[in-house]
Structure 1
């Protein structure tokens, strides 16, 4: 069974568009391959920016650079952050079928990283290009390894501070009192694979943390592994023994990627994100079975998701998060990737970035390593809904020259899925601006 194209575009992509007809499920799956193509952000370039900015800070501290000149350098980096946001939004709103870009958003949130300074925003953009996009239709184990070992993840979870208590470095420098940092090991088990409440212990967390020792990021050294801080010997995680070194880290992560608890945890998480806050158990069970049978083949899991009957049965049981809402609105207004990329940086900030923050979702700044919340109650509150309504009333006419007739826009944005009450309300709007806003602020548009 497949969901009809209109509902598929709303549920699985970023909504309907006057530019392209709704896609069937085959085209939706093809869009995953399109989404694997990177935007050009790299850890190498982010590292170079970090080193260069370090020199800028040094010049400021030494008095060789004025405060005004320093602020100008910061603005250059902030501009690149705006570019990364604009590119993500352009791809989401402009994709012929947006399922692949929805998966980018899902998996980037699953492996949440939060930038703490201007250059880390560039590394976070590289993370999406290098750890998420290439693996969307591949094995989850490959994505897990790429994400867990990426520089921004190592920075965010303080993996650089993790030193094996019996490592060569610790024995040589006992006065430093160094030891394990369990953050990465804990998040890999608790968030990225098995899930909270799975059958593992604090002992497993600590043993995995020992396996992961040696992973590092030093902007002045291209090597990603430091043997001198590795905890020697054999560690046991969930009853399986692992040695040290990158191959053993990869083996441990591969085992976790196909663990039955990982299949159940991520099947439920996918079902919760794409179907309902309280997803049907049959959908969860079927996705978990495909995950297990395929060894974590994400293309097979995606195919099972888009063709599952419970996807149609739970239509509009999910609230659109602010990024989804803005992308869907731009798409419904007829803006393609080119028009979005043509917006200058002040426009991107004023029309898109700041409003999204007011709606409760500052780009790239999730509240913690568990990412953005799923329940509708976290997004549809009086204050946050007011921000959506304010955007719907003020921004569309600034973004598009040919402002749509509200009645035509209702059909463009919602197709045949609009309620009778909304069909009656839109023509009664006092003007076109309010008519379009009624559509964008409606329950139908804010849910998928």
Structure 2
């Protein structure tokens, strides 16, 4: 306990220094190019989740320059990197990755039905109480935990680190909240099929995949959006006559949630030049985009997206200054085509990408080059990413350690530096929740912030010191080995400060240092 108090006290002092740590570099270094070792560590921290001992050994054996050249080439071609056997075994054992959308939604509905029946037997009512809702969560939570285990295992063990960082970025861009209805049980499928296949592919393909995925259709309510005056089929009306309490669950009319976020967050940006009327018209164009829920009800299989022409608004529409002809599902697809290639989308994505990978206030010239590349290549995200990696701004002294780690990045980089496997995913997921960034837990469509202002506060820093203490005690890693792994990312003042502290506390203090909290 005394050691823990010592680390917390010393770590708090280091964390306090973190509040003042973002200063301009010393004059002697301000314009100096990064050394080869610094470039290698910069790549590991920005294009992955930090160095592990194997990375440090490879850099030492190959030389930082040759290692970095090979690393960058491999990261842009992740399919060529063999997956570790341990990671393959872990993913193979996660049931949630091998179930289809209909099966997943079917399990959720079975849980809801069982809870409703239990409630009805208990009190004669129809609305599930807290106990019934908890019973639903208990039945679906294991699959949500498996989704988290898959993400954490890949991020920690995959050699395709850039792919993992891009999966995090694009999932956050097209955020869905696991706490809403059936989204949690579908979130693994959403990441695996709507996000991951496209992170180095075409933006339009990712945009379409997210638009049609049941997780997004449920989260932003487009599955409930129908033309005004819509009447359910006669079979459904007969059921409603028998069970009028089900009427509240039927679509009630036009829902603009998805159309608004599609333009404001996913494509054009808040300053993209659209109006409220454009939101309404786009929502009308997307009516009928929903789910074939019958597959889940009868134990079917396969994908759930379905276009229902009966729910679609066939009236005249004018969107972004264009007259839209009534062509059913093709109206929505055409809208996605327009949004994916719009200049405002290129600018919006370029800014977010540069902010996530370079600086909280990204260089305007870099944003312009990224936007130009996006437009010129038709949204080719491999070339978009390659443009970033070739940019002088990315490799500048000013960008080096200029980003502050989110709780997710801090946890992963700590585990990788200590070479600790994700032995108990539930504990790691709990740690993220406690730090304010539960995995798949951003309730609002804009996802989690990646800027220092969102995460650099005294309470959050104290939580990191506590985590550093726990991991330092658990790891058994020597401070010398950890220092060798982190290499050039540790400043000489930090090394001198830690050398004066008791050896038993040095690992925890190093993880709590301002240097380690930056990337």
TM-score norm. by structure 2 comes to 0.76
Cα gap change, 1:41 to 1:177, in 2 (>3 Å): closer
* Cα pair 1:389 1:441 within 8 Å, conserved: yes
Which residue is equivalent to 1:301? Answer: 384
Name which of 487, 491, 506 aligns with 1:415.
Answer: 487
2:418 to 333, 344, 358: 333
Match of 1:5 in 2: 40
Partner Cα distance (1:165, 1:69) in 2: 34
SS of 1:224's equivalent? strand
Q: What do residues 385-442 of structure 1 show as CA deviations (whole Å, max 9, x unaligned)? A: 10011000013433x4xx1111220221x2222111111122223233x211122112
In terms of Rg, which structure is larger? 2
Larger RCO of the pair (alpha carbons < 8 Å, separation 6+): 2
CA distance in 1, matches of 2:219, 2:280: 19
Q: What do residues 206-250 of structure 1 show as CA deviations (whole Å, max 9, x unaligned)?
A: 111111000112533445221111110342322334334223312
Matched, 1:437 2:508: yes
Match of residue 388 from structure 1: 464
* Cα displacement (A) at 1:167: 5.9
Please point out which of 192, 207, 230 is paired with 2:281. 207
> Where do 5+ consecutive residues of structure 1 fail to align?
none
Cα separation, partners in 2 of 1:100 and 1:63, compared to 1, 3 Å: same
Give the C-alpha shift of residue 287 in structure 1: 0.6
Report which stretch shifted further, 154-163 or 325-334. Answer: 154-163
TM-aligned CA deviation for residue 117 of structure 1 = 5.1
- Correspondence for 2:408: 323
Of 100, 103, 124, 1:45 maps to: 103
8 Å contact from structure 1 (residues 25, 307) kept in 2: no
Partner of 1:188: 262
1:32/1:99 contact within 8 Å kept: no
Q: Output the CA distance in 1 between the equivalents of 2:390 and 2:437.
A: 30
Match of 1:271 in 2: 354
Match of 1:404 among 474, 477, 485: 477
Task: Find the counterpart in structure 2 of residue 115 from structure 1.
Answer: 178
Give secondary structure in 1 for the equivalent of 2:307.
Answer: coil
Q: Secondary structure at the match of 2:447?
A: coil
Assess if the C-alpha contact under 8 Å between 2:204 and 2:336 holds in 1. Answer: yes
Q: CA RMSD in A?
A: 2.9
Structure 1 residues 178 and 349: CA distance shift in structure 2, 3 A: closer
Structure 1 360/181 Cα, relative in aligned 2: closer, same or farther at 3 Å?
same
Whole-Å Cα distance in 1 between the matches of residues 477 and 459 of structure 2? 28
Distance 1:100 1:107 in 2: 10
1:328-374 Cα distance to aligned partner (Å, 9 max, x none): 11111113xxx32xx2xxx4333x12221222211211141111112
Residue 253 of structure 1 aligns to a residue whose secondary structure is helix
> Does residue 75 of structure 2 align to residue 28 of structure 1?
yes
SS at match of 1:361: coil
Partners in 1 of 2:133 and 2:360 — Cα distance?
46
Which residue number corresponds to residue 154 of structure 1? 217
**Is residue 354 of structure 1 aligned with residue 430 of structure 2?**
yes
Q: Report the counterpart of residue 298 of structure 2 in structure 1.
A: none
